Structure 1
Amino acid sequence: LGMSKDGLIPSVFSKVNPISGTPKTNLMILGAIIATVAAFTPINKLADMTSFGTLFAFTMVCIAVWILRVKQPGLTRTFKVPALPVIAVLGIAINSYLIFNLSKDAQLLSFGWLILGIIVYFGYSKKRSRLNNTTEE
């Protein structure tokens, strides 16, 4: 919902059902896409790609928290990671090691999805983003 409200994906994904309070259309569209991909992809490849996505996300969190700590040291935080440089480096190293030990098929397919995401971002999302828009609506 947040990405849609920010203009990064089409607005259809930000619509919430007034009765159930859930993004019903969003769930139906993505459910159909995911079910179709799952129907034609072997389960071991799906498992490896899911692992890749999770490990990649954890790696990005380690990097982002470290960058945020350096760029905005005075930001109020409810929790402060002790020994952040050590924790971040270990997190990045361990996650990267696990990513590179997944099957080559999973790595190639996952990198393909990442490239598709980059194409969508630069082809659709960047120019429609409300986050980078300097004029308020």
Structure 2
Amino acid sequence: MLSGRGEDHRNGQNRARSRRRPSAGRDLNAGISFDGVGIDALAAPLTLGIAAGLLGGKVVGVLVASFLAVHAGLADMPAFASWRHLLGVAFLCGIGFTMSLFIALLAFPGDELLQTESKLGILVGSLASALIGSAVILLGKSPISFRDY
């Protein structure tokens, strides 16, 4: 589109859109420098505790809350979903970057080692939650067949 001065506004719009495109380096950067981080950091108690909390704590919380809500009559199970599917979704709830990273930075101000161990635990726990949740959902049998539609 040409403006009154003969300028093409589409070029400016395209430049603005290209600046907003997601970039793997920018969007997936959790602020972890792996320089000097050895395998021992994976076995650190803080790393293991955070990963276990994301992997196990979220699953237990989501399943117990869902079970209680369904059996108390406050909620219905989603159509065509089984408890196995809900288990997969509960694992997927363990993917937690934003608040976990925010809380880790607030919890350990100025302590680079504990912040790095926290971030590593968040990444490991979130990755494990994503892989296990996806596998449980994909390997679970659906109560209906897609051929029914």
TM-score, L = length of structure 2:
0.33
TM-score, L = length of structure 1:
0.35
Q: Please tell me whether Structure 1 or Structure 2 has the larger radius of gyration of its CA atoms.
A: 2
